[in-house]
């Protein structure tokens, strides 16, 4: 059978998987100048750092009169509300009511558990008893904090669509030649056949390219010498529901002993509301070449092209309802698998 | 009885008459550079031309993943979706799925029947078995495609109100002196008495002016010589639900043999959504004089003045509900007749 | 008990108290150039003056075809609709239908009772039989129209929140040091203890400061000489549901015979819709010193700071519903009393 029947799950209205870690900010975005506002699975939060440098995330609404704490300022280890100066510490406890000495112990704001690792800050908004740092992505595998590798944060986009649409986008390389035809050196890659792989935690598609030689652009990107021939594996990996990874591996069969070059696009995906989400981009690499600014600019353009179509899809669902028909083909297999798995995760009893 | 009782039909929420032809674009707006987005009676469409020049209108949503086809580009006789490159031909059939050879025959997008005549493209969104080109407006009568006449398209406005409000506006010349007092040479015309005429297909008001002489402005507009005296008939004709015409006829009783001069404002009216519609303007004339740019600019200003009040009326209905009272006077007779006829057409079993 | 239990009344959705006078404009805002649009308790109105200078407020929608009368122009003692030129006089009666001689007597628009006193125009939108000028604020007490005093209008803000949030803001001086820390000479005042007073018509908080001396800023504002010592009483008075007053009284115990200096911030508060209201500012003073422009600018900045937090509070209620929890402390006593009284007034049978 060549086609997949009509969708059973609407990709514009997928719910949240609450018991998970979500990247909520790059480390460098959170400081002591002023709190940062972000939303994770519908929870607005204000992020800042204590004097000791610990990152803190509090529910972004003062329990006194309802002003967002992100409107406030940072005083010592607390955030001070912009309106009446109430202060809340890293645990969310109120530590100052300017107009009185007595502080009611029940006067507090929810505080979220954070883990900062490498240059990401991850938040847990789910059940406290299920919170486990072992559930974080494997930072070694991602090339973050790995000897001999380099890893850097680049940018974060806020996209006005359900987060599931981005996973499907990233699991489908067939759109590259069309949506990104001008931006990417994508001709051969888009035509390459692919295979789908999946395991308990991921949905993956893999494309292989044999006997390529670098053009000026990807030579620089991938730290390759002119004239060298190589094989390339592009592996697009959805770690549902919170991370997508694209792993490029260059091997050199004609040069025994030449170590493989690996570059990983690390893209945490964090649902903000039902129809908005964040997409982060960091790059890690096993080789010392700097990523030129032109590469980052090109990737930013590509992400913006994706953003435009994802937002257009979402708008039509928002205007015309979740029952719009959808027709799937073979290339959508991985995306549909990811969508169904997200739906199952979102509906699972927590 | 001098007044008409309160409305029974809300003019801000009138429904669509689906089994009709609607002008969806001027011919020159539809080409091969990129698809044109329009909406007709709630149906979004992407318009383009095939290599042979045939105009095509497809439902503006790719059936694969939901991106508007108007975001795409034109490839041969097909439109290619911006996202994954699926192509759909003039019939709406999918003719290319880049990622596979097999094209499921049921993979298609609705295609709308178009008729292009003179410089208008008309669309039929209703029942296929009721579609009949004989129902199109009479192009000969309108001075389109008529020997010795000239006819040209000028502009199209998108107005954020129900389309019925524009028909009522155009059937009421009493507003001209007030809303358009500065823009139009309208003093005598607004004061002239009028009569209402109607037949099975139209509602009309007619004003007659006897023994006028041209001022510099209308002499140029109507191809008249200085000093000539003429009678003028202004006939405002609602062809419900899709066209309004204003026919000016100048006759010269004191100059036997002087042919009448006729100028027709051809204004197709096309509902887009319940609270938006398009108003087109073409002019045809039985005489060779060019319409000066100053006339077109003046008409554009007048249409913009109408747009402002129609949108203000609509906003108050949208904010306060459809039951707002309305008080009608004699001059509203034709407009109310048109409104009731529109309501009957919209509610008729199709 | 040190804290007040969770709110029973949502401050973002409080209803209107219809049988009351509301300031709808400063006198100088209403003239004969063009009508002024305002909204009072959900009623849109068009304000203008007759030839004799009488202020008029009509429901802002022509009863004929629904165009806002504030789009029109003033002709003699009437407002003329922009669309068809219907004219309505100060009583709301139609006095001209351009297209016919007969004017149906029932063709009229609601007219609101206005009282203009000093530099304010007050409107009554409630039951006609309950309308009583004796219910107007006491203009003598406010320093308006009072021999030896000066009083001037300054500005009006439109704030996108329920009006009750502004009363609570003004009954709580504890926010001054935080929200307005940079703008106001507020250090000692914010720390001063306060007492709550209330009577049948007002809720008040009072702060006393003993033995102060003027700094360059408040010397100029309050007409004080350098070196003088004084006591200061700041009395913040909510006249629910339509006026807030801040009365500063400077007395000079060490200088027997030195008259007290009084400055009053007169701030009518007028609900427009459920989530918007107007705040007016006039100042009256018992002493001859001019209020420097720098003071007015500082007060405008302070009001804008208040506006920002009130609108942020409202947005969170609008997004997340009226049941958001709120935690009150001692300093909120006066504000909560005002809120409950507003709720009782709004729910009272009229």
Rounded CA gap, A69 and A35, in Å?
8
Identify the pLDDT of residue A4.
Answer: 44
Q: How far is A62 from chain C (nearest CA, A)?
A: 8
Measured CB to CB, residues of chain B less than 8 Å from chain A are 61, 63-68, 71, 80-85, 97-100, 102, 104, 106-107
Candidates C4, C12, C161, C327, partner chain A, best to mutate (most A CBs within 10 A): C327
Nearest to B205 by CA among B168, B152, B161: B168
Nearest to C177 by CA among A82, A93, A94, A69: A82
Q: How far is A100 from chain C (nearest CA, A)?
A: 7
- Name beta bridge partners: C111: C58
Rounded CA gap, B43 and A25, in Å?
41
Contacts with C275 from chain B: Cβ below 8 Å: none
3-state secondary structure string, A176-236? HHHHCCCCCCCHHHHHCCEEEEECCCEEEEEEEEEEECCCHHHHHHHCCCCCCCEEEEEEE
What average pLDDT does the segment C207-228 reach? 78
**Residue B191 pLDDT exceeds 80:** no
Rounded CA gap, C110 and C123, in Å?
13
Q: How far is C277 from chain A (nearest CA, A)?
A: 19
Identify the pLDDT of residue B185.
Answer: 47
Q: Do B66 and A172 touch (CB under 8 A)?
A: no
Identify the pLDDT of residue B4.
Answer: 44
Q: Could you read off the pLDDT of A6-18 as tens digits, one per residue? A: 457 899 999 999 9
Identify the pLDDT of residue A314.
Answer: 97
Which residue in chain A is spatially nearest to C193 when comparing CA positions? A99
Q: How far is A344 from chain B (nearest CA, A)?
A: 21
What average pLDDT does the segment C112-118 reach? 97
What average pLDDT does the segment A236-250 reach? 96
Domain C150-347 bears CATH identifier 3.40.50.1860: no
**Residue A275 pLDDT exceeds 50:** yes
- Long-range interactions of A99-106: CB distance < 8 A, separation 24+: A99/C174, A99/C329, A99/C330, A99/C331, A100/C2, A100/C329, A100/C330, A100/C331, A102/C2, A104/C2, A104/C3, A104/C327, A104/C329, A106/C327
Identify the pLDDT of residue C46.
Answer: 98
Contacts with B68 from chain A: Cβ below 8 Å: 312, 316
The pLDDT-based confidence of A188 (bands split at 50, 70, 90) is: low
Which residue in chain C is spatially nearest to B323 when comparing CA positions? C66
Q: Do B100 and A316 touch (CB under 8 A)?
A: no
Q: How far is B104 from chain A (nearest CA, A)?
A: 7
The pLDDT-based confidence of C177 (bands split at 50, 70, 90) is: confident
**Residue C211 pLDDT exceeds 60:** yes
- DSSP code at position C196: E
What average pLDDT does the segment A66-72 reach? 97
Q: Do C331 and A68 touch (CB under 8 A)?
A: no
Identify the pLDDT of residue B201.
Answer: 85
Write the residue in A178, A327, A332 that is nearest to B82 by C-beta: A178
Return the domain boundaries, chain C: 21-125, 150-347
Residue A88 tokens, joined = 């809340």
Q: Do B309 and C82 touch (CB under 8 A)?
A: yes
Measured CB to CB, residues of chain A less than 8 Å from chain B are 2-3, 168, 172, 174-175, 177-179, 190, 308-309, 312-313, 316-317, 324-332
Q: Do C66 and B331 touch (CB under 8 A)?
A: no
- DSSP code at position B290: P
Q: How far is C275 from chain A (nearest CA, A)?
A: 16
Q: How far is A74 from chain C (nearest CA, A)?
A: 13
**Residue B285 pLDDT exceeds 60:** yes
Q: How far is A329 from chain B (nearest CA, A)?
A: 8
Write the residue in A63, A71, A83 that is nearest to C175 by C-beta: A83
Which residue in chain C is spatially nearest to B312 when comparing CA positions? C67
Which residue in chain B is spatially nearest to A176 when comparing CA positions? B84
Q: Do C178 and A107 touch (CB under 8 A)?
A: no
The pair phi, psi for residue B176, each rounded to 5°, is -60, -45
The pLDDT-based confidence of A182 (bands split at 50, 70, 90) is: low
Considering only residues A72 and B99, tell me which one the structure prediction assigns the higher pLDDT: A72
Residue C340 tokens, joined = 């409950």
Identify the pLDDT of residue B212.
Answer: 83
The pLDDT-based confidence of A350 (bands split at 50, 70, 90) is: low
Considering only residues B180 and C28, tell me which one the structure prediction assigns the higher pLDDT: C28
What average pLDDT does the segment B338-347 reach? 95
Contact C64, B291 (CB under 8 A): no
What average pLDDT does the segment A199-225 reach? 82
Contacts with B106 from chain A: Cβ below 8 Å: 327
Residue A272 tokens, joined = 């903000």
Q: How far is B205 from chain C (nearest CA, A)?
A: 14
Identify the pLDDT of residue C307.
Answer: 97
Identify the pLDDT of residue C188.
Answer: 57
CB atoms within 10 A of CB B96: 17
Candidates A329, A332, A338, partner chain B, best to mutate (most B CBs within 10 A): A329
Candidates C165, C168, C182, C312, partner chain A, best to mutate (most A CBs within 10 A): C312
CB atoms within 10 A of CB A329: 22
CA dihedral sign, ordered B169, B171, B176, B178: negative
Each residue of B302-316: b (16+ CB within 10 Å) or e?
A: bbebbbbbbebbbbb
Nearest to B27 by CA among B277, B268, B265, B292: B268
Q: Do B83 and A330 touch (CB under 8 A)?
A: no
Contacts with B309 from chain C: Cβ below 8 Å: 67, 71, 82-83
Rounded CA gap, B45 and B23, in Å?
13
Contacts with A65 from chain C: Cβ below 8 Å: 168, 313, 326, 332
Q: Where are the beta strands (DSSP E) in A27-80?
A: 36-40, 43-49, 55-59, 73-75, 78-80
Which residue in chain C is spatially nearest to B169 when comparing CA positions? C83
Q: Do A104 and C172 touch (CB under 8 A)?
A: no
Which residue in chain A is spatially nearest to C306 when comparing CA positions? A83
Q: How far is B71 from chain A (nearest CA, A)?
A: 9
Contacts with A98 from chain C: Cβ below 8 Å: 174, 177-178, 190
Q: Do B178 and C82 touch (CB under 8 A)?
A: yes
**Residue C4 pLDDT exceeds 60:** no
Q: Do A85 and C174 touch (CB under 8 A)?
A: yes
Contacts with B100 from chain A: Cβ below 8 Å: 2, 329-331
Q: Do A100 and C178 touch (CB under 8 A)?
A: no
Identify the pLDDT of residue B8.
Answer: 73
Q: Could you read off the pLDDT of C131-172 as tens digits, one per residue? A: 999 999 999 999 998 999 999 999 999 999 999 999 999 998
Rounded CA gap, A156 and B14, in Å?
45
Identify the pLDDT of residue A325.
Answer: 87
Residue B53 neighbours by CB under 8 Å, 6+ apart: none
Q: Do A329 and B64 touch (CB under 8 A)?
A: yes
Largest CA distance in chain A: 77
Q: Could you read off the pLDDT of C282-295 as tens digits, one per residue? A: 999 998 777 888 88
Rounded CA gap, C268 and C274, in Å?
17
What average pLDDT does the segment A27-36 reach? 98
Identify the pLDDT of residue B190.
Answer: 57
Q: Do C68 and B317 touch (CB under 8 A)?
A: no
Which one of 2.102.10.10, 3.40.640.10, 2.60.40.10, 3.40.50.300 gives the CATH number of domain C21-125? 2.102.10.10
**Residue C184 pLDDT exceeds 60:** no
Q: How far is A67 from chain C (nearest CA, A)?
A: 5
Q: Could you read off the pLDDT of A74-109 as tens digits, one per residue? A: 999 999 999 999 999 999 999 999 989 999 999 999
Write the residue in B66, B84, B104 that is nearest to A175 by C-beta: B84
Lowest mean pLDDT among A181-190, A287-296, A328-337, C92-101: A181-190
Write the residue in B172, B175, B327 that is nearest to C107 by C-beta: B327
Considering only residues A234 and A167, tell me which one the structure prediction assigns the higher pLDDT: A167
**Residue B5 pLDDT exceeds 80:** no
Average pLDDT, chain C: 91
Rounded CA gap, A142 and C301, in Å?
50
Measured CB to CB, residues of chain B less than 8 Å from chain C are 2-3, 168, 172, 174-175, 177-179, 308-309, 312-313, 316-317, 324-332
Q: What is the pTM of this model?
A: 0.91
**Residue A185 pLDDT exceeds 60:** no
Q: How far is A63 from chain C (nearest CA, A)?
A: 5
Q: Do B309 and C61 touch (CB under 8 A)?
A: no
Q: Do A312 and B99 touch (CB under 8 A)?
A: no
Considering only residues C215 and B101, tell me which one the structure prediction assigns the higher pLDDT: B101
């Amino acid at each position: 059978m060549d086609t997949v029947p009509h969708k059973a799950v609407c990709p514009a209205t997928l719910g949240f998987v609450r018991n998970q870690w979500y990247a909520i900010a790059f480390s460098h975005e959170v400081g002591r100048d002023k709190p940062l506002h972000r939303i994770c699975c519908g929870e607005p939060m204000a992020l800042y750092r204590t004097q000791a440098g610990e990152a803190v995330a509090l529910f972004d609404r003062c329990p006194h009169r309802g002003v967002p704490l992100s409107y406030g300022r940072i005083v010592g280890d607390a955030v001070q509300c912009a309106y009446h100066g109430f202060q809340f510490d890293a645990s969310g406890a109120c530590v100052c009511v300017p107009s009185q000495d007595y502080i009611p112990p029940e006067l507090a704001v929810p505080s979220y558990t954070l883990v900062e690792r490498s240059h990401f800050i991850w938040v847990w908004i789910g059940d406290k008893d299920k919170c486990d740092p072992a559930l974080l992505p494997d930072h070694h595998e991602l090339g973050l904090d790995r000897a001999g590798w380099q890893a850097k944060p680049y940018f974060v986009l806020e996209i006005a669509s359900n987060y599931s649409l981005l996973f499907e986008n990233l699991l489908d390389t067939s759109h590259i030649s069309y949506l990104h035809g001008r931006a990417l050196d994508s001709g051969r890659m888009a035509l390459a056949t692919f295979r789908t792989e999946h395991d308990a935690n991921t949905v993956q598609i893999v494309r292989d390219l044999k006997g390529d030689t670098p053009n000026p652009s990807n030579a620089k990107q991938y730290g390759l010498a002119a004239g060298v021939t190589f094989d390339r594996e592009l592996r697009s990996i959805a770690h549902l529901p919170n991370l997508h990874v694209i792993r490029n591996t260059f091997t050199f069969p004609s040069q025994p002993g030449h170590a493989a070059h690996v570059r990983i696009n690390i893209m945490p995906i964090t649902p903000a509301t039902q129809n908005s989400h964040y997409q982060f981009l960091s790059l890690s690499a096993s080789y010392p070449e700097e990523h030129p600014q032109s590469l980052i600019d090109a990737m930013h353009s590509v992400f913006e092209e994706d953003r435009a179509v994802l937002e257009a899809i979402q708008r039509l669902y928002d205007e015309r309802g979740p029952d719009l028909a959808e027709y799937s083909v073979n290339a959508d297999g991985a995306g549909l698998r990811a969508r169904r798995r997200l739906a199952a995760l979102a509906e699972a009893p927590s």
